[in-house]
Homo-oligomer: A and B are copies of this chain.
Amino acid sequence: MNPIFRDAIFADLPAIVALLAEDTLGEKREDAATPLDPGYEAAFAAIKSDPGQRLIVAEIDGRVIGTMQLSTIPGIAFKGAWRGQIEAVRIAQDLRGRGLGKLLIAYGVEQFRQGGCKFVQLTSHKSRTRAHRFYERLGWTRSHEGFKLALT
């Protein structure tokens, strides 16, 4: 199975939300019912209008089977290093364990390499222990603690 990787179009949005919603953590906070919550459409438009953001899908035989978001962030540290950041990585549940996640991450890393980033970063919820082993096998270093603060 060789997926195609490409930037998402608006018609992909229900499939992307469905991937987020079938996830253990995502099922509590997403709603894949159509018509979609207008928050999803507003976010899609914001991502598309922001040159620092790319929403990617992986497609096999016309089916969206994976997604991730790529953010390019300029920074002063490391003598002015651009950093790439990967968020919201998902592969369809019925297609896990076949190396598709590895291909997806490799595609994202290559995009950042071509974009001149000096490093790539991501965070993964502490409950996702399989994901942690996955990233370490791919050569990533688990060097940081990730903190979140909800705003009310």
Contacts and interface: CB of A to CB of B under 8 A. Distances in A.
Nearest to A76: B43
B55 A76 contact: yes
B125 A146 contact: no
A69 B79 contact: no
Contacts of A120: 148-149, 151
Nearest to A118: B151
Chain A's interface size range is 35 or more
A142 interface: yes
A102 interface: no
Interface of A: 13, 16-17, 20, 26, 29-31, 37, 39-44, 46-47, 50-53, 55, 69, 71, 73-82, 84-85, 87-88, 109, 112-113, 117-126, 132, 135-136, 138-151
